[in-house]
Amino acid sequence: MKSKNLILYFVPFIVSGIILYLSLNEDLWLSFWRFLNIPAQLPPFSDLESISRALNGKIDGFNPYYENPYDLKQKPYSYTSIWLTLFDVFKLDNIFNFRIFNFIIIYFYVFIFLKLIYQFNNRYFTTVVFICFFSTSSFLVLERLNIELIIFILIYFISITQVNLIRIPVFLLAIILKLYPIFSVFIFLRNKRLFITMVISSLLVLFFLKDQIYLIMQNSIEYALIFVH
């Protein structure tokens, strides 16, 4: 039991530390991901870092949905606006805070995979989990630190929590952050009244975000719309 707990909590710490260390050196970063056959981008964790650039534009008076001058590709902002608020409130445009946030995300991502292995304790399930974690898709979202990792963590947290006072706000937050977690509403299906309430609440959230959704659809790359939204 002690050895399992050591692995469960220590391995994610090591993996997070290594990836964060590699991100401090651009040459090491590119070489590492090239070795894994992953098309690395600079700066490291480019997807998440792009929110900081959009925030800088917003602070300077631009609407990043239309003008995003600090983005490296001059690409219009394509996430919900709550990300800008979160980056502003928690000062994630500060490089030190940003790196701590990176570490935490990667830690929990790795932790969840290990937790699933121990929880189910099944050889075939363990094989599937390993394949998923070491897949190209998994490595790619780690390299970019795509916000899907955060959504994955939130949805896992909802699935293991039985306290509705926690599940409900986290579920709604996940929708506001990325829209498509609305499909996880079925976790409330055991309680039909709550399920109907959450379906209605989810639709109301989408209604209030309709303007942002339109802009996101306009600004997103076409293949991303197909596979994500």
CB atoms within 10 A of CB 35: 8
Whether 114 contacts 125, CB under 8 Å: no
Q: Which residues of the chain have pLDDT under 50?
A: 223-229
CA distances from 141 to 21, 55, 109 (A): 17, 21, 11
What is the structure's pLDDT at 225? 45
What is the structure's pLDDT at 227? 46
Q: Tokens 């220590």 identify what position?
A: 10
Cis before 181 (ω within 30): no
Q: Tokens 């926690």 identify what position?
A: 166
Backbone angles phi, psi at 209, to 5 degrees: -95, 10
What is the C-alpha separation between 128 and 117, in angstroms, rounded?
10
What is the C-alpha separation between 182 and 171, in angstroms, rounded?
8
What is the structure's pLDDT at 64? 92
Whether 20 contacts 106, CB under 8 Å: yes
What is the C-alpha separation between 29 and 18, in angstroms, rounded?
11
| Nearby residues of 49 by Cβ (< 8 Å), 6 or more positions away | 43, 98, 145
pTM for the full predicted model: 0.88
CB atoms within 10 A of CB 18: 12
pLDDT tens by residue, 25-80: 999 999 999 999 999 899 999 999 999 999 999 999 999 999 999 988 888 998 99
